[in-house]
Structure 1
Amino acid sequence: MAPASDVCLERDVQQIVGVSEVQRPIEHEAVAETGPDAFSTPLMRPVFGQSMHQYLEQLRPSLDLSQFARVSSMEEDGLYLHKRHIRGDHGKMLEQAGTALLHTVVYLKNGQKIVSLDFGPVGEADVTANLTEAVPCGPVMHDPAEQPGDTVELPFLHIKVPHYPADSEALSKAVEFSQSRLYHAFANNCIQNTDFFIRALTGGEIRNAPLVYDALCGHVPAQDNPMLVMFMLMTGISWFDVCDGSRAAADFLREHLKPAVPS
């Protein structure tokens, strides 16, 4: 018989995610994806059962560090990724994953002009009370951007590769596609769409940028939080699925050509 504390934990997670049946988590093989179809595949898949911390320790040495810089503010022109804490009354479980499951935003800076790509529920609705609810998304592109402010709690990841500008056709198609889909905290969220936007902006040169952020700018606990592990077991959704935009990229390619790599 399971300990009473475990039973209570399972009941809490059931209430949060709105499920009652336990499913097996999705398996992943450890492999780095390359080649012409890499736009819609992960940069590196985790080994089945691998924790976030273990995965990032494996990912970090594989990165080309000349493509990235950790910065405290957006001083130079370019492409940036930023994370902020979740605004919601029931977001504490997500905060237990360090920076991995925080809200994620893309910024494009050109001189004094900053445009942001911020995928989220319409009206910034609090969806943390029912994480399985799908709701309409709000406007994605903000011009000018709502800037993080002078006192930014978390750093920025400056992605230092050629990218399309904010007014490009490649980005316009990506934003239109993204806005046609419902927001879902685990199946179609800000992290997955941020990953997808940066793939579109760079022609697939940069994949899984939110996880690159965690590897170079963020932090995750040494061991996955038990409540998050329970969530994985109950829903069949792994932490990697929640953070990976490959499915959105693959769905995009069913309707559009892959964006060329910008020069």
Structure 2
Amino acid sequence: MKRRAVIYCRTATRLQHDGGTSTLRQEGECRDYAARNGLDVTAVYVETGASGNRAIGERPGLDQAIDSLARDDVLIVADLTRLARDSEGLQTILRVVAHRDAKVIAVREKDRPAPKPRAVVYMRSDPYSAGTITGVPLAVQEATCIDYAKRAGWEVAGVECDAGTTAAASIDHRGGLRAAVDRLEQGGFLVVHDATRLLEPGSKTAVGIITRIVMKGARIVYATGKWSVPPGVHGGGA
């Protein structure tokens, strides 16, 4: 069975036909790519007069294209500017597509996949555990988190660790966590083995840690559990 593909085309004005930006030319390039790579085009979504600065939720065609994606589907665009004109908006769209276990292909980007969302791995062990926590060594935490990130299609941008530190410690007293959060990018992910590696539930420091991560525009992911959903952040299943 062929892999399914959805095509999305966009122009900023209804009269935009030159310079390779017309929707007909975009669709033609995307269909050619799909044919060369054995992809089955199941739908084409076209938007004219839609600015690339508009976010998800403000472009019905883009919303429909993303909603139509299933696991392992491909969203094909002529180039990444068809999705968004700014890096922050692009990373948000890539993150949403990744959540659906699908991927983006930009035909004019030398037929390469769009940049992968970036993830940072964080590990922690308690003072009394000599490098382990409930039988899970730091090395196992690292391997589990990296495997999760790779299966999700994310690029692992770094690995940080706090050994011999309690979950109640604030971010200012955890050099590894502080470094991990500093590495995070808009639309990125902080991957931890489980919630207790990052937070002590109900503690005052938990709010400060979550706030710092949310302010970076990033998400927390538990490699052995479900997505954590900080207040005010829309979440989904792992």
Band the TM-score falls in, shorter-chain normalisation: under 0.3
User: Larger relative CO (CA 8 A, sep 6+): 1 or 2?
Assistant: 1
Q: TM-score of the superposition, structure 1-length normalised? A: 0.25
Structure with more strand by fraction = 2
Which protein has the larger Cα radius of gyration, Structure 1 or Structure 2? 2
